Amino acid sequence: MDAALALLVFAPALALGSFLNVVAARLPEGRSLVRPRSACGSCGAEIAWYDNIPLLSYFLLRGRCRSCKASFSARYPAVEIATALLVAACFWHFGLTGEAVVGAYFCAALVVLSAIDAERRILPDLIVLPSFVIVLTANMILAPERWKEWLAASLGASLFLFLALLAYPAGMGMGDVKLALLLGAGLGWTVSVGMMIGMVSALVASSILFARHGLAARKMGIPFGPFLAFGAIVALFVGQPLLDAYLSRF
């Protein structure tokens, strides 16, 4: 537990969240992450540095463009605050350790993937696969004695979703199967907890949609990625106690 450290990383993590917004908007379209500078999607006005301060600018401008008053997506502040809170939580929970750095990377990847999946119903390989390799390698270096766990959890989680995809193709896609590789590499055995929470929360959300909109809900097709990400993040922080509590019942 390291509250001071968490406070220290909060502002840089907000800036990281701001960069993840650029990634979420540009990477799926194959645009450069560096150039040009950010501009309003409606009027094309370049966004000045003082209007591009994470979180603060969005609230000062009430989520609107300074020039044309078109409203910006609530995705911008949501991604910034989620990234900052999760990165801070990693350093609070794991202290100044390699685990905290890997956890922060893992959370940041899941935030940007959730934002993209929610908007476009895709989980880009360009983020999922390199992140899988990075997280797997980092965990192999940090905890080499658990190498079988990292590998088995990755492949097992992915195989599980692949079989589920064969059984119920409407529910998800190959993007989710590849995402499970990353989840297993980041979580080890507690990936089971993460997947369970992800599936249950997706089920609850789709039941609510179904209850509200009836058959029309089937066409809305809620993306599975953000729910898997949510389950994985819960598992990252409290997966082990949850798994121990569950296993102690037998």
Report in angstroms how near the CB of residue 41 gets to Zn ion at its nearest. Answer: 8
Under the criterion CB under 5 A, does residue 116 sit at the interface with Zn ion?
no
Q: Which is nearer to Zn ion, 40 or 185 (CB)?
A: 40
Q: Which is nearer to Zn ion, 57 or 114 (CB)?
A: 57
> Among 35-43, 102-110, 148-156, 174-182, which window interacts with Zn ion (CB under 5 A)?
35-43
Q: Give the up-direction half-sphere exposure of residue 97: CA atoms within 13 A in the CB hemisphere.
A: 15
**Exposed / middle / buried, residue 89 (Cβ in 10 Å: 0-12, 13-18, 19+):** buried
Residue 125: other Cβ atoms inside 10 A? 12
The footprint of Zn ion on residues 183-202 (CB under 5 A) is: none
Report in angstroms how near the CB of residue 71 gets to Zn ion at its nearest. Answer: 10
> Among 21-29, 32-40, 51-59, 88-96, which window interacts with Zn ion (CB under 5 A)?
32-40
CA dihedral 207, 211, 216, 220 (to 10 degrees): -40
- Size of residue set near Zn ion by CB under 5 A: 8
Please select the residue that binds Zn ion; options are 68, 74, 203, 204, rule is CB under 5 A: 68
Please select the residue that binds Zn ion; options are 6, 20, 23, 65, rule is CB under 5 A: 65
Report in angstroms how near the CB of residue 124 gets to Zn ion at its nearest. Answer: 27
**Cα(22)–Cα(5) distance, integer angstroms:** 26
> Among 57-65, 163-171, 175-183, 226-234, which window interacts with Zn ion (CB under 5 A)?
57-65
Under the criterion CB under 5 A, does residue 40 sit at the interface with Zn ion?
yes
- Cα distances (angstroms) measured from residue 200 to each of 31, 168, 216: 36, 16, 21
Q: Which is nearer to Zn ion, 33 or 70 (CB)?
A: 70
Residue 121: other Cβ atoms inside 10 A? 14
Report in angstroms how near the CB of residue 42 gets to Zn ion at its nearest. Answer: 5
Find the radius of gyration of the CA atoms of the chain: 19
Contact (CB, 8 A) for 172 and 117: no
Quickly tell me which residue has 């905290």 as its tokens.
100
Contact (CB, 8 A) for 182 and 135: yes
- Cα distances (angstroms) measured from residue 27 to each of 91, 115, 214: 28, 12, 35
Under the criterion CB under 5 A, does residue 157 sit at the interface with Zn ion?
no
Please select the residue that binds Zn ion; options are 7, 11, 39, 43, rule is CB under 5 A: 43
> Among 40-48, 93-101, 117-125, 169-177, which window interacts with Zn ion (CB under 5 A)?
40-48
Q: Which is nearer to Zn ion, 43 or 129 (CB)?
A: 43
Q: Which residues bind Zn ion (CB under 5 A)?
A: 40, 42-43, 45, 65, 67-68, 70
